Amino acid sequence: MTVKFPGKDHKYGEFKDIIVPMRDGTRLAAHVEFPLKDGKPDVTKEYPVLLIRAAYLHSAPTTSWYGLFEYATANGYVCVEVAARGTEKSEGQLQPLANEGWGADGRPDNDGWGIHRDGEDTIAWVKKQAWCNGQIVTSGISWQGASQILTWLSGDIPGLETSVISNPAINSGFANGLGYENGFFSLNLNVFWAFMMVGDLLAHHRYSPIIEEKIMQDNALLGDPFGDPRKVNAGEWARKYGLKNIPIMRQLPFWNKMVENYDNIDFFSYDDITKRTNKLKKPLVFVGGWYDLMLANSIMAYEHSVANSISQEIADGHRLILTPFSHTARMNEYRFANEDTDQACLEIDWFNQQLRATSSELFQKGKAIIYVMGEERWRAEQDWPLPDTELTEYYLHSNGNANTSLGDGVLSTTIPTSESADLYSSNPANPVNNMQEHTMFGGMNDHSGNEQRSDVLVYSTPVLEEDVEVTGWINATLYASTNATDADFIMKLLDVYPDGSSMHLTTGGVRGRYRNDRKNPKPMVPGQIENLTLKMRATSNIFKKGHRIRIEVMSTNSSMYDVNPNCFIDLRTCTEKDYIVADQTIYHDLEHPSSISLPIIPADAQGEWLDWPYAPEKTGGFDHHAMAGKPSCTEPIQLDTADLPVIE
């Protein structure tokens, strides 16, 4: 660590409503934060620029609350925040993350959707400003994270030096995307985000008076969620109205595009990083959270960047940081020891190292910095996936009665021989509740309550006689059948504590109609045994001596995913009246060895345990994930926009 938090007395200035023109003439709105000397900005001096591109300029929720502007301006950076096309005061139509990268280059014609290259144009504008020294770095989470990696993949951008890319809202081969995950529609995420954006769109009169009136009528129909956001209930709304006709949502063009293209997955190629293989020439940092809905995107973007760097030196220069956090703020009850992190300090350390040749000790420790749950400590690793990983199959066993945690389900490394299959009935109208996380604010939570349901199968190891570490990507093989024409099969990995609490680590699954090909859905054949691959998110956890390793198998996960009606009908329009109860069978015998593949890390292969240098008590700054809704330590001094020289 080479920088310290500048303190509560630090002041910086802000120029608001700066116009940034795009090549098609659309004008985007920006704020510019400037260092001050004796209370005044020196606009004749050249500075490196920290650029943030987002859809949230009106609130800057993922930058201002944790002190990034304070750190940046105190270290001689100018900060530029730009509102995405169609948001806040920026002109154009909101097309979520469609115009951040390579535009129409190499993509199918999407009726004018996503043809612009706003990221590239914005950087070109910043670079030619007299107060920019030609060096540009970028930062941000979610939309801001996506806008960074998509711009990097659009081509060589002069002046773009490095980035800290956190939990990017991108597509990664259609498996882990902004709107869909492994064939599931990310219901909570999509409804929450769309609802959040409606306020901005209404405030800036993006819709005609007729549409605004319809939105307010829909708001009344739903019991006024605008007045009380706690009334937002994605699962209930989808079951009652169907995805395509959810009140309020149905008035939003971007929502309709997302839903209309449920099975036209190529439509979303505009932010699919696997479609671009630009040879990266600068090292980047990727940040993910074990409980973040965009975790897989962070890791896959890192892996993609390593594989597509111009040289081994650049590939080795990329860094991956994996935290115990959710997407934004931490609001669940469970707190880990040693988790608090001053991410703003970490970011400025990295930028200084890349631009000013300073040395930050953490980034010399290894390519991957991970938080290991169970042990609740940070560790440096020399590579990702971790060296010496031992992929180990843990097989499902029972005598046909694995229903609930009181059943006879067992998880072990022994291959099954002759065993009775497990059966359960899944009712979409009474789904299993996703307890581990709110879409945006989550973390480790106890799932033992769900394990009392007969539609949840539970398989556990015996009590562990020694610690077992699991770190890395997790996949499962499930042999299953259904008496329906469609069904979901979902698996969760959990750490069972001696007190009986069952703490969730990661989730994954497969939607039956997409079992062979995401682009070509086919009905399931009732009674036919299928060999299903369940892709799960990565995790890192040491199952301590005295604990147990557990998996749950189920067919609903509300409202993280949309509910499957258990029949091969249109998922966009089906409602509760279309749902049927399906009987599911899970097989585990010699011919059908259902299992989960766990990346076991031997104790002697572990990396270097760290004394975390970015703990706020060491930096004097803020814990990033504890600051939601709280103001930054300093309100910027408002400066006259006319005093900032701008070259269009």
pLDDT in tens, 255-267: 999 899 898 888 8
| Tokens 């975390």 belong to residue | 612
Of the pLDDT bands very low, low, confident and very high (cuts 50, 70, 90), residue 439 is low
DSSP per-residue codes, 247-290: TTGGG-HHHHHHHHTSS-GGGGGGGBGGG----B-S--EEEEET
- Per domain, the residue ranges of the chain are 12-173+272-382+609-635, 190-267, 390-604
Can you give the pLDDT at residue 176? Answer: 56
**What is the tens place of the pLDDT at every residue in 213-243?**
999 999 999 999 999 988 889 999 999 999 9
Give the DSSP H or E segment for 214.
Answer: helix 209-221
Please check whether the domain covering 390-604 is classified as CATH 3.40.640.10: no
Of the pLDDT bands very low, low, confident and very high (cuts 50, 70, 90), residue 327 is confident
Dihedral over Cα of 531, 535, 536, 542: its sign: positive
* DSSP one-letter code for 467: -
Give the DSSP H or E segment for 160.
Answer: strand 160-168
Q: What are phi and psi of 450, to 5 degrees?
A: -65, -25
Of the pLDDT bands very low, low, confident and very high (cuts 50, 70, 90), residue 460 is very high
Can you give the pLDDT at residue 629? Answer: 46
Checking if the pLDDT of 1 tops 70, the result is no
| Tokens 């024409």 belong to residue | 485
Q: The sheet that has 637-639: what strands, in order across it?
A: 608-609, 377-381, 368-372, 319-323, 285-289, 160-168, 132-142, 47-54, 78-83, 27-35, 12-21, 637-639
Checking if the pLDDT of 504 tops 70, the result is yes
Class of residue 593 by CB neighbours under 10 A (exposed 0-12, middle 13-18, buried 19+): middle
Assigned token pair, 246 = 């959810």
Assigned token pair, 128 = 């030619």
Looking at every residue in the chain, the average pLDDT score rounds to 91
Neighbours of 16 (CB within 10 A): 17
Angle at 397 between CA 392 and CA 403, to 5 degrees: 125
Can you give the pLDDT at residue 119? Answer: 96
Can you give the pLDDT at residue 335? Answer: 83
Give the integer Cα–Cα distance in Å for 388 and 585: 36
Q: What is the mean pLDDT of residues 165-187?
A: 80
Of the pLDDT bands very low, low, confident and very high (cuts 50, 70, 90), residue 112 is confident
Of the pLDDT bands very low, low, confident and very high (cuts 50, 70, 90), residue 465 is very high
**What is the tens place of the pLDDT at every residue in 474-502?**
999 999 999 999 999 999 999 999 999 99
DSSP per-residue codes, 8-40: TT--EEEEEEEEEE-TTS-EEEEEEEEE-BTTB
Radius of gyration of the chain (CA): 25
Cis peptide before 96 (omega within 30 of 0): no
Contact 472/387 with Cβ under 8 angstroms? no
Q: Assign 346 to helix, strand or coil.
A: helix
Neighbours of 360 (CB within 10 A): 20
Contacts of 409 (CB under 8 A, 6+ apart): 396, 397, 398, 401, 402, 422, 457, 458, 459, 460
**What is the tens place of the pLDDT at every residue in 267-284?**
888 888 888 888 899 999
Q: Angle between the 118-127 and 143-152 helix axes, to the nearest 10 degrees?
A: 80
Dihedral over Cα of 333, 292, 138, 636: its sign: negative
- For the chain, helix, strand, coil in percent to 5 are 25, 30, 50
**What is the tens place of the pLDDT at every residue in 523-533?**
999 999 999 99
Residue type, 80: V
Q: What are phi and psi of 254, to 5 degrees?
A: -70, -35
Give the burial string for 448-468 (b: 16+ CB within 10 Å, else e). bebbebebbbbbbbeeeeeeb
Checking if the pLDDT of 67 tops 90, the result is no
Do 12-173+272-382+609-635 and 390-604 have matching folds? no
What are the distances in angstroms from CA 622 to CA 2, 125, 371, 442, 530? 16, 32, 19, 19, 50
Checking if the pLDDT of 60 tops 60, the result is no
Checking if the pLDDT of 299 tops 70, the result is yes
Checking if the pLDDT of 447 tops 90, the result is yes
The more confident residue out of 21 and 178 is 21
Please give, one letter per residue, the 3-state secondary structure of 48-109. EEEEEEECCCCCCCCCHHHCHHHHHHHCCCEEEEEECCCCCCCCCCCCCCCCCCCCCCCCCC
Of the pLDDT bands very low, low, confident and very high (cuts 50, 70, 90), residue 627 is low
Checking if the pLDDT of 61 tops 50, the result is no
Checking if the pLDDT of 325 tops 80, the result is yes
Can you give the pLDDT at residue 124? Answer: 97
pTM score of the predicted model: 0.95
Assigned token pair, 518 = 């995401």
Assigned token pair, 303 = 């892996």
Give the integer Cα–Cα distance in Å for 74 and 623: 18
Contact 319/286 with Cβ under 8 angstroms? yes
In the CATH hierarchy, which fold is given to the domain comprising 12-173+272-382+609-635?
Answer: Rossmann fold (3.40.50)
Checking if the pLDDT of 175 tops 80, the result is no
Q: What is the mean pLDDT of residues 164-188?
A: 81
* DSSP one-letter code for 442: B
